């Protein structure tokens, strides 16, 4: 296992200490390691899913097939904006 020195601001450190105190973790080290693993696993799996989708779409395109046809009543901007408003609620 490698060791990486990391600077953490006082406010974040207090929050980590609170998690340790509440017995969610045995130590700061365990808490930080778990947080890093969680973020990395989420990021990698999201990237892999997108990468696989793009590869599939490109394969269909090279085969002369239209991989994706959207017929929408709204513009892409309107759809994205409506999704953002829904997530704010």
Task: Look up the domain containing 83 and give its range.
Answer: 10-88
Please tell me the total count of domains within the chain: 1
Spatial distance between the Cα atoms of 48 and 72, rounded to a whole number of angstroms? 27
Is pTM beyond 0.85? Reply is no
Contact 40, 34 (CB under 8 A): no
Please count the other Cβ atoms lying within 10 Å of the Cβ belonging to residue 35.
13
Q: Which residue has the tokens 């009543």?
A: 73
Tell me the residue length of the chain. Answer: 89
- Give domain status of residue 5, yes or no: no
DSSP state, 63?
Answer: T
Segment 18-34, tens digit of pLDDT: 999 998 899 999 999 99
Residue 14 is assigned to a structural domain of this protein: yes
- Calpha distance 8→56 (Å, rounded): 41
Indicate whether 80 belongs to any domain: yes
Q: Is there a domain that residue 4 lies in? A: no
53 located within any domain:
yes
pLDDT tens sequence across 59-83 = 888 888 876 666 778 777 787 788 7
In a domain, 2, yes or no: no
């Amino acid at each position: 296992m490698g060791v990486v020195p990391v600077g953490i601001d006082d406010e974040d450190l207090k929050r980590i200490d609170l998690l340790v105190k509440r017995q969610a973790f045995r130590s700061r080290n365990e808490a930080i390691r778990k947080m890093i693993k969680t973020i990395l696993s989420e990021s990698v799996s999201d990237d892999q899913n997108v990468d696989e989708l793009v590869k599939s779409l490109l394969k269909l395109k090279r085969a002369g097939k239209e991989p994706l046809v959207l017929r929408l009543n709204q513009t892409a901007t309107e759809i994205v904006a409506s999704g953002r408003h829904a997530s704010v609620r």
